[in-house]
Amino acid sequence: MTHIPRWILPAAISVTVPLPSYAEQYLTVSAAQKLCFPECDQFVPAHVKFTPAQIKAIEANSGQKQLLRGQEIWRAMQNGKLRGFFIVDYVIGKHLVIDYAVALSPEGTVKQIEILNYRESYGGEIRNPDWRKQFTGERPGSRFALNNGINNISGATLSCRHVTEGVRRVLTTYDACLK
């Protein structure tokens, strides 16, 4: 399941991965817009399709491959005045695509970053029977059933490097397309 507009993505990412996955939708685009720019009353779409020259500039300045063909951008307006830009971007996390939003000031500094959709592929069920001993006191039908969805995960820290790099790329996109 993906809400990514087709024209944004190259074929390589738009292929859906048929694996069991943990997906969390944190915020919709409009909810994130309101959180990033609470003072604004209007978000005017200003999406861009990159020209080959822009892609070249973004790749040269960010040192990253620009896999997207365009960028979804909104101008955040308050009483007709530009208060900043709201940009949706996509990166590959461990395996799957993460959608996130970057709020920029009109001058192009990062105000806020919010993850919109997070996805991880998981091999759903827990096979190890020893774990079930943990739940000997559990009643059938309890909402804590083991095969319920995953809500919280603990483990060695997963790096957010791809998002950090993505934000750097978005900043070069600002330089190339919005400045």
Partner 1 sequence: MTPVSNRVRRARPALGTFVEITARGDNEEKLHGAINRAFNAIARVERQMSFHHSDSDVSRINREAFERKVTVDPWTWRVLRAAQKLSHETNGIFDITVARRLMQWKYLPRRYANVSEGNWRDIILEKNYGVRFRQRVIVDLGGIAKGFAVDRAVKALKCAGVPSGVVNAGGDLRVFGLKSELVHLRHPAEPMRPAGAIALRERALATSGIYFAQKRHGRAVISSLLDGRTRRCSRKLVSVSVAAPVCMIADALTKIVFVLGEKSAPSLARYHADALLLERDGAPSWMFRSLCDTSDRTGFD
Residues of this chain that interact with partner 1 (CB under 8 A) are 24, 26-27, 35, 94-95, 100, 113-115, 118, 120-123, 126-128, 130-131, 134-135, 137-139, 142, 144, 146, 148, 150-161, 163-164, 167
> CB of 122: closest distance to partner 1 in angstroms?
6
> CB of 109: closest distance to partner 1 in angstroms?
15
Rounded-to-integer distance, Cα 132 and Cα 136, Å: 7
CA distances from 145 to 5, 131, 132, 135, 138 (A): 36, 12, 10, 9, 8
CA distances from 161 to 121, 138, 168 (A): 18, 39, 11
> CB of 39: closest distance to partner 1 in angstroms?
14
| Joined tokens for residue 87 | 């940009």
Residue (82 or 158) nearer to partner 1, CB:
158
Residue (51 or 164) nearer to partner 1, CB:
164
Residue (54 or 169) nearer to partner 1, CB:
169
> CB of 130: closest distance to partner 1 in angstroms?
5
Of the candidates 6, 151, 179, the one whose C-alpha atom is nearest the C-alpha of residue 90 is 6
